[in-house]
Amino acid sequence: MSTNHYVPLPDSSRVPLDGARVIGPADPRTPLTVTVYLRRDPDAPPRPDLYELALQAPTRRTVPTDDEYAATNRWRDTDLKAVEAFAGEHRLAVSNENPLARSIQLTGTTEDVADAFRVTLARYRYQDAHDNPRIYRGREGAVHVPEELSGIVTGVFGLDDRPIGASLLIRRTEVSLPIAKAVPALPAGVFFPHQLAKPYDYPAGLDGTGQCIAVLAFNGETSPGVPSGGYSLSALKTYFTVLGLPVPNITDVVIPNVGSPGNDPGPGDATEDPFDSTGEIMLDLAVVGSLAPGAKIVVYFSKFTEQGWTDLVNRIATDTVNRPSVISCSYGNTEEGGPRWTPSGVSHVDGVFIDAGTKDISICCASGDDGSRDTNFGERAHADFPASSPHVLGVGGTHLVVKAGVVDKEIVWDDGPRARTGGGISRMFAVPPYQAGLTMPVAANPPHVHGRGVPDVSAVASRNTGVVIPNVDGVHADLVGGTSAAAPMWAALLARINQGLGHRVGFLNPNLYAHFATGVLRDITVGSNGAYPSGPGWDPCTGLGSPGGQQLLDGLKAL
């Protein structure tokens, strides 16, 4: 293969993180693995239209078989051989071929990998949101591929390992309850997760049996020997035993060669490293395990990088061993990734969401915890990705008051700056067909575009009416909130509904908006998240509302 003429890979260009500066070259001798994605075979059979598929009643829907999915998503063998030949010319080893995801990994020295893709890799130093110094391996400009591979290679991820994504968990640090021996008395107005089943009318007699819920878990060492995120099974056993609940069935999957150590629990307190996701993972497992105790839970570990995201979601969507039916995602970033996401990364992840939808996998994504500005410095409004993808169920947050097991009041979650529900109008994704009939605001920022509205639904997220989860120490329980609590609530609900239907709900949004926009969910009409107010019907704070679980199950059965 001639490699004399290289061309830029579309949508791959990078700029440094805000405030980052080069402190030296990347070590040329360090091993480096990148993941290369290939095009779909142009001669493959057409893929099903996700929107047409999703509008069918779940009980009468026909989804592709494994063989049909493989046929429609295959790569072209000659394309694979061309990439393998390119790897050989640059002394790069080939591993982890995934035909369903059309991905392979290439490993070599940093010098050889950088030369192969015509990039300059350097070490950058920046200050994180907590004013801590951080270092990442980065690049500027585009990735390049030989002209012969143009159009064949669709993405190259792993050259740059800057962090992408943040846990959407809000702590109430002044509350820490002993739980090692007996159920503690809770502060007024807060909940153990299983106590939300009654006010949210989760279908009784169902527990998610037969379902598999995928939980996203991002970590990765930010300094040698420092734990970076995981869970304690013994702490979870103590928690569930004290509450009289079954201990969840948990399986771990570690995405190879992306820098994640797997289950690596840190201290799990409010002083932890902001890139230690232990509290988030414990939250997700406590909520899912409490509200869908019969479901199998698979924790997919990857790293907070673009490569980590793309490889993780592809692994879930193509997992023919565990076969997840629901995905719970409690992480996100401002969708205009700028120095975080590349357009290529967003496109690849969203493409996997489409593929997952054609396999009847539901995806629940937290919409953000800093109101309409979405953790972006300044007050401009932004939507949060991946919740802003039109192919996921975006989940916002509420403030919930329950009396005698019945909802007394539920309003938009707004506890002040950096503690309010995310939501807004996407500047990256157009209005999807299922939202076309809504009266929607334009984006608050000039040029005031029309776009995908976020979120679709909501659930309790206020730390003042939040959920109590186990601390990783196995002795205490912590009171937390955030839309990362609301997303697994919806994931657990959909698992129970799947069980009740005897079929997967899959991509819920088209049927949700077409048939259940009123009279099924609890419409939240009071409050705002900054730039956007709530009101009757859909709004960019809480979407169509909070769960009416049995009503939704009954409605889906009647389709």
Residues carrying an active site annotation: 280, 284, 484
DSSP, residue by residue, 97-156:
EETTTTEEEEEEEHHHHHHHTT---EEEEEE-TTS-EEEEEE--B--EEEGGGBTTEEEE
- What is the enclosing helix (H) or strand (E) of 173? strand 170-178
Structure tokens, 409 = 């009041």
Measured between alpha carbons, how far is 144 from 156 in angstroms, rounded to an integer? 9
For tokens 């809504």, name the residue.
438
Structure tokens, 29 = 């001798």
Q: What's phi and psi for 334, nearest 5 deg? A: -50, 130
Q: What share of the chain is helix, strand, coil (3-state, %, to 5)?
A: 25, 25, 50
Beta strands in 179-308 (DSSP E): 212-219, 249-254, 296-303
Measured between alpha carbons, how far is 101 from 485 in angstroms, rounded to an integer? 30
For tokens 């820098």, name the residue.
259
What lies within 8 Å, CB to CB, of 59 at 6+ separation is 501, 502, 503, 556, 557, 559
Tell me how far the alpha carbon of residue 399 is from its chain's centroid.
22
Measured between alpha carbons, how far is 3 from 277 in angstroms, rounded to an integer? 42
Peptide bond into 28 cis (omega under 30): no
Measured between alpha carbons, how far is 62 from 217 in angstroms, rounded to an integer? 31
Q: How, if at all, do strands 249-254 and 296-303 pair?
A: parallel
For tokens 């001798």, name the residue.
29
Q: What is the per-residue burial (b if ≥16 Cβ within 10 Å, else e) of 272-298?
A: bbebbbbbbbbbbbbbbbbbbbbbbbb
Structure tokens, 25 = 């070259």
Q: How, if at all, do strands 326-329 and 362-366 pair?
A: parallel
Structure tokens, 78 = 């000659």
> Around Cβ 214, how many Cβ atoms within 10 Å?
30
Q: Is 78 helix (H, G, I), strand (E, B) or coil?
A: helix
Q: What's phi and psi for 531, nearest 5 deg? A: -80, -20
Structure tokens, 168 = 């959407």
Q: In what order do the strands lie in the sheet with 331-334?
A: 166-167, 331-334, 384-385
Asked if 254 contacts 456 with a C-beta cutoff of 8 angstroms, the reply is no
Measured between alpha carbons, how far is 94 from 87 in angstroms, rounded to an integer? 7
* Cross-strand partners of 409: 401
Measured between alpha carbons, how far is 497 from 516 in angstroms, rounded to an integer? 15
